[in-house]
Chain A
Amino acid sequence: MELAEKGVNMTIFWIVHAVTLGLFGIELLFLLTVWLKARVPGVPARAAWWRKVFPAIGYVLKVVFSHRLWPMLRAFFVDGLLQRRLWQKSRRRWTTHIMVFGSFLILGILSTITGVVVEFLPLLGMSHEAAASIPVIGPLFHADVWWVALVNELLGLALLVGMALVLYRRFVKKDPQLRVNPIDNRIVFLLTAIAISGILTEAFRLLANYTTPSGVFAPAPEMLPHEKLPAVLYPMWGPQWGFVGYGLAWLLGQLQLSPEVWLAALYVMFWLHFVIVSALLFYFPFSRFAHVLLGPIVVSYNSMLDHEKRRHRGDGGAPAASGRSSPQVPAAAGRGTE
């Protein structure tokens, strides 16, 4: 029993999703027009924003297609994605941040691939069986493929634990260098709500799909229609690998409610989860969360500039241990540092 058959109208979902994504894109473009009121190299400061579009693009291309690309990519990966500076500062905070940022990023990528496999490939005339047979991404066809369930579960759990640590640091530990304000808290609460509602949605989906008419939670691959779980995926079927959602479903299953009840619960939770995700997407560009998008870009560019400055001067700024003499610098002719 799948969402569509059980009454969760996926057409409405995709329409609303497309509108939300469109709105997100429009917001980004709108923000860009505001940013372009700032100065751009080679254009008079007070010129209209639209006159700065092409010079700005030109500047970006000039940076990208130059010897600066490699140091920027390196910084993007090391400082932007792996967050080296935070790692150097605090392993504990790095772990928290990477749990939230990393799992959110990977879950987003996986969801996008799933959307392509499930919705778009069949639109192009590919059969569900053929789509499910594509190596690696094919199994993403269904969340109950064991490794998909496991990966989703681990990432969801990491997000949940990460958010718990964030909440602990903010509201219990009250780290003195943190500045908590109500506007920031909106994002924190939205992310927490996404993590919780995601796991509940998963549990209700399992219950709605795998509860017998007599109210027994007894999962088996045959309970799903063939077009939703092609036979090629049967050997990989294993929803129990999604241990948190599965465990929760098993627990709730002890209530022995009818599949219709679970379906109603799924309906409510699915749309609630979707509305929260959409709200986050809508609020994203105007919130503190914008750093997720801009942080890696800015740190790549700034790290590259710092790298150039250090290479140009050949002078090290890394602090030396106090109370000791610095190593003797060998005598060099001329300016020495240039």
Chain B
Amino acid sequence: MTKTYKKVNLAHFTLRQMMEMEACTRCGECIAACPTYAEAQSEEIHPLNKIARIKDFWKAGHLGFLARLFGLHPPSKEELEAFSKGVYRCTLCARCHEVCPVQIDTRALWIAMREQLVSWKLYPELFNMLRDRVTTQYNISGDDNANRLVWTQNMEHVPEGLDRKQGAETVYFAGCVGSMYPRVYGVPQSLAQILERAGESFTTLGGEEWCCGFPLEIAGMGSEVLAMARHNVESVRALGAKRVVTTCPSCYHTWAHEYPHLLGKPLGFEVLHATEMVAGLIERGKIELHPVEQKVTYHDPCDLGRTSGIYDAPRRILQAIPGIQFTEMADNRAMSLCCGGGGDAEMADPELTAAVSKRRIQQAQESGATIVVSACQQCVRTLGEAARKNRIRMKAMDVNEVVWQSMNN
């Protein structure tokens, strides 16, 4: 075992997190709730172990002789590597927070641990590529960012004013996955057409849309996000828009909750998730819906539900569509299972996240539905892939795609 001394830099954590780590009762509720541990059964993954390890590490480095008195030793290289593996094989779904008796804000804690690991240079190699792409190309795919509107190319009718229309009331922030991954082009296409049909004044940032920074923030590379926040917010302000709407829950979370904190002041415009806006349009009678005779279930995206607290808006939409028979999965709302697509975990361990996705698509199938609807292009992509790989006859759709289909039936 190679001995290496790495002292935890406590500036990566908040005072609240220090107290939360001490408040961990080691009850193991989080172990039973962890979707990645359920698949991998590897001790390094579960929340209890991550908290116990980082506590041991910082105590070994900061308690002096008391640490040695209580049997704590500086971590070895192998221990640190195992710790890193556990921290990066987490989807940041925050299900552990929901079951924690002291309600530890686990998701923020895992991100703080990742920041520490980045400063120790103990993170998956692929993350360097992610950082390079986002900081130089301003998107996660590495494509030319000028192609941000490539998703419009196969549309029969492209709504007017999509590219930075001055004075538009709403800026639609499509996000990297929606903009650049062909499998989910249907998501931005649907929302753009819904907004146009509803008579909304909207536009996009076109080639000036930079990655919101979420993938870097959750990778533990949050120091790079400020520049993106500034650029995106300034771009919206320059158009004079009143609101930003996103189809991606992670972009929504970043805009709504991280940007004001990062910039140290309110944004000056409102931030909505598309489900909130579309639900409002339906309820104000601006959208005409026609029957969709399908049995559907809804998958709560982690960043929309647990992280942002939006559970009802997508359900209201689905229940407003005539003909839809809506059913819940066994695990839903705050206890929804993760689809496996979050937390950049797919970059660290694709087999593990595929197993997580499989479990969720099986649960969707058990609900008796034929379509699993979500409100996140990443969840739709992941669940669709899981259905295909596991030969499950089930369609994964974004809620906007269902709405657009209903409008055209």
Q: How far is the CB of B64 from chain A (nearest CB, A)?
A: 9
Taking a contact as CB atoms under 8 Å apart, the answer to whether B20 and A329 are in contact is no
Taking a contact as CB atoms under 8 Å apart, the answer to whether B103 and A331 are in contact is no
Q: Which of A178, A306, A321, A328 contacts B328 (CB 8 A)?
A: A321
Q: Which of A148-170 contact B (CB under 8 A)?
A: none
B305 to chain A: which residues have CB within 8 Å?
Answer: 317
Q: Does B388 contact A (CB under 8 A)?
A: no
B32 to chain A: which residues have CB within 8 Å?
Answer: 177
Contact with B along A185-209 (1 / 0, CB 8 A): 0000000000000000000000000
Q: Does B367 contact A (CB under 8 A)?
A: yes
CA distance A317 to B276 in the complex (A): 16
Interface residues contributed by chain B, number (CB under 8 Å): 71
Q: Does A133 contact B (CB under 8 A)?
A: no
Q: How far is the CB of B248 from chain A (nearest CB, A)?
A: 18
Q: How far is the CB of A46 from chain B (nearest CB, A)?
A: 6
Taking a contact as CB atoms under 8 Å apart, the answer to whether A38 and B13 are in contact is yes
Taking a contact as CB atoms under 8 Å apart, the answer to whether B327 and A286 are in contact is no
B333 to chain A: which residues have CB within 8 Å?
Answer: 316-320
Q: Does A51 contact B (CB under 8 A)?
A: no
Contact with B along A296-316 (1 / 0, CB 8 A): 011101110110011011011
Taking a contact as CB atoms under 8 Å apart, the answer to whether B28 and A175 are in contact is yes
Q: Which of A312-338 contact B (CB under 8 A)?
A: 312-313, 315-326, 328-329, 331-338
Taking a contact as CB atoms under 8 Å apart, the answer to whether B331 and A319 are in contact is yes
B311 to chain A: which residues have CB within 8 Å?
Answer: 315-317
Taking a contact as CB atoms under 8 Å apart, the answer to whether A294 and B22 are in contact is yes
Q: Does A224 contact B (CB under 8 A)?
A: no
Taking a contact as CB atoms under 8 Å apart, the answer to whether B315 and A326 are in contact is yes
Q: Does A29 contact B (CB under 8 A)?
A: no
CA distance A294 to B283 in the complex (A): 46
Taking a contact as CB atoms under 8 Å apart, the answer to whether B310 and A319 are in contact is no
Taking a contact as CB atoms under 8 Å apart, the answer to whether B22 and A290 are in contact is yes
Taking a contact as CB atoms under 8 Å apart, the answer to whether B24 and A291 are in contact is yes
Taking a contact as CB atoms under 8 Å apart, the answer to whether A334 and B284 are in contact is yes
B101 to chain A: which residues have CB within 8 Å?
Answer: 79, 83, 85-86, 89, 295, 299
Q: Does A288 contact B (CB under 8 A)?
A: yes
Interface residues contributed by chain A, number (CB under 8 Å): 65
Contact with A along B49-66 (1 / 0, CB 8 A): 100100000110011001
A329 to chain B: which residues have CB within 8 Å?
Answer: 312, 315-316, 319
Taking a contact as CB atoms under 8 Å apart, the answer to whether A36 and B104 are in contact is no
Q: How far is the CB of A261 from chain B (nearest CB, A)?
A: 37
Q: How far is the CB of A19 from chain B (nearest CB, A)?
A: 17
Taking a contact as CB atoms under 8 Å apart, the answer to whether A291 and B312 are in contact is no
Contacts A178-B28, A313-B309, A333-B284; A326 near B15 (Cβ below 8 A) = no
Taking a contact as CB atoms under 8 Å apart, the answer to whether B19 and A294 are in contact is yes
Interface centre among A179, A309, A337 (most CB of B within 10 A): A337
Q: Does A40 contact B (CB under 8 A)?
A: yes
Contact with A along B1-20 (1 / 0, CB 8 A): 00000000011011111111
CA distance A190 to B300 in the complex (A): 45
Q: Does B329 contact A (CB under 8 A)?
A: yes
Taking a contact as CB atoms under 8 Å apart, the answer to whether A299 and B102 are in contact is yes
Contacts A34-B10, A40-B15, A337-B313; A319 near B25 (Cβ below 8 A) = no
Q: Which of A35, A86, A286 contacts B66 (CB 8 A)?
A: A286
Instruction: Name which residue of chain A comes closest to B300, CB basis.
Output: A317
Q: Does B330 contact A (CB under 8 A)?
A: yes
Instruction: Name which residue of chain A comes closest to B30, CB basis.
Output: A177
Taking a contact as CB atoms under 8 Å apart, the answer to whether B103 and A320 are in contact is no
Q: Does A45 contact B (CB under 8 A)?
A: yes
Taking a contact as CB atoms under 8 Å apart, the answer to whether A298 and B319 are in contact is no
CA distance A167 to B315 in the complex (A): 46
Q: How far is the CB of A33 from chain B (nearest CB, A)?
A: 9
Q: How far is the CB of A294 from chain B (nearest CB, A)?
A: 4
Taking a contact as CB atoms under 8 Å apart, the answer to whether B15 and A302 are in contact is no
CA distance A214 to B407 in the complex (A): 100
Contacts A34-B10, A39-B11, A323-B328; A298 near B102 (Cβ below 8 A) = yes
Contacts A315-B309, A337-B313; A324 near B18 (Cβ below 8 A) = no
Q: How far is the CB of B364 from chain A (nearest CB, A)?
A: 11
B328 to chain A: which residues have CB within 8 Å?
Answer: 320-326
Taking a contact as CB atoms under 8 Å apart, the answer to whether A323 and B71 are in contact is no
Contacts A322-B332, A324-B327, A332-B283; A295 near B25 (Cβ below 8 A) = yes
Taking a contact as CB atoms under 8 Å apart, the answer to whether A335 and B277 are in contact is yes
Q: Does A37 contact B (CB under 8 A)?
A: yes
Q: Which of B63, B70, B310, B327 contacts A315 (CB 8 A)?
A: B310
Q: Does B335 contact A (CB under 8 A)?
A: yes
CA distance A179 to B28 in the complex (A): 7
A334 to chain B: which residues have CB within 8 Å?
Answer: 280, 283-284
Q: Does B387 contact A (CB under 8 A)?
A: no
Interface centre among B101, B327, B367 (most CB of A within 10 A): B101
What residues of chain A have their CB less than 8 Å away from a CB belonging to chain B?
34-40, 45-46, 52, 56, 79, 83, 85-86, 89, 93, 175, 177-179, 183-184, 283, 286-288, 290-291, 294-295, 297-299, 301-303, 305-306, 309-310, 312-313, 315-326, 328-329, 331-338
Q: Sorted from nearest, which 3 A-B pairs have the closest CB atoms?
A: A177-B28, A317-B334, A302-B103
Q: Other than the known A56-B15, A86-B27, what 7 A-B pairs have Cβ atoms closer than 8 Å?
A: A34-B62, A39-B11, A79-B101, A291-B102, A295-B23, A313-B310, A336-B316
What residues of chain B have their CB less than 8 Å away from a CB belonging to chain A?
10-11, 13-20, 22-29, 31-32, 43, 48-49, 52, 58-59, 62-63, 66, 70-71, 98-99, 101-105, 272, 276-277, 279-280, 283-284, 305-306, 308-313, 315-316, 319-320, 325-336, 367-368
